[in-house]
Amino acid sequence: MAKIYEICVVCERKIPLETRKFKNTCSDHCSDIKQKQIDQRAYAAKMSRDPLYATKQSRKQYASIKADPEKWIEFKKVRDERVQMPSYRESLRKSWKKYKAKNKEKIAEHTRNHRAMLGVEWTESRLRSEAKRIEKRKKKRQWLKDNDPDGYKQLLKEEREYQRQWRKNKRLQKAQEQMAQVMQGDSNEEK
Ligand SMILES: [Zn+2]
């Protein structure tokens, strides 16, 4: 025979037995909370057994959407609309920056673990995404050159600025190295 509960496991109030016999919550509201807690615990347990669980799940979900043409079109539409919104991009950028600053060590540790776990695959995936980035940049550059003279001019300006900054850093680095050598020499002479 099923157990009859008298006290709600969520809020500890009395369970109305006339309407909720055999239930361990007092209301639909508490029942929802209980279910949420069960799901959260199950999720936490899965994550502790397999740190890649969340990644695998979202990959699975993504694959199933991609496999269904209708779902895929809808998914892309929603995603593209969202990404176009400047406010969304700005808030993404901001919250990521904040998160990064706050969790610097945690992220570094996660990266180290992830890297160790994936081994060679890590290097390969980094190379792949780097190649993708370069290809994308090349395409964008060509597109601007063909279609948007002002945008292309702006890009050239940014590239020049980037190179200027790079050369400046390089010079600074060299000067610091020379300085360090001179100081090393001085301290050797003193001995
Ligand atoms: Zn309750």
pLDDT tens column, 22-41: 899 999 999 999 999 999 99
Query: pLDDT grade, residue 120 (50/70/90)?
Result: confident
Compute, in degrees rounded to 10, the torsion defined by CA atoms 177, 178, 183, 186. Answer: 150
How far does the centroid of ligand 1 lie from the alpha carbon of residue 101, in Å?
Answer: 40
Query: What would the mean pLDDT of 92-111 be, rounded to a whole number?
Result: 92
Q: What pLDDT shows up at residue 123?
A: 87
How far does the centroid of ligand 1 lie from the alpha carbon of residue 14, in Å?
Answer: 8
Query: What would the mean pLDDT of 40-59 be, rounded to a whole number?
Result: 94
- Domain-wise residue ranges, the chain: 1-49
pLDDT, the chain, mean: 91
How far does the centroid of ligand 1 lie from the alpha carbon of residue 42, in Å?
Answer: 21
Helix crossing, 53-67 with 28-49: angle to 10°?
Answer: 110
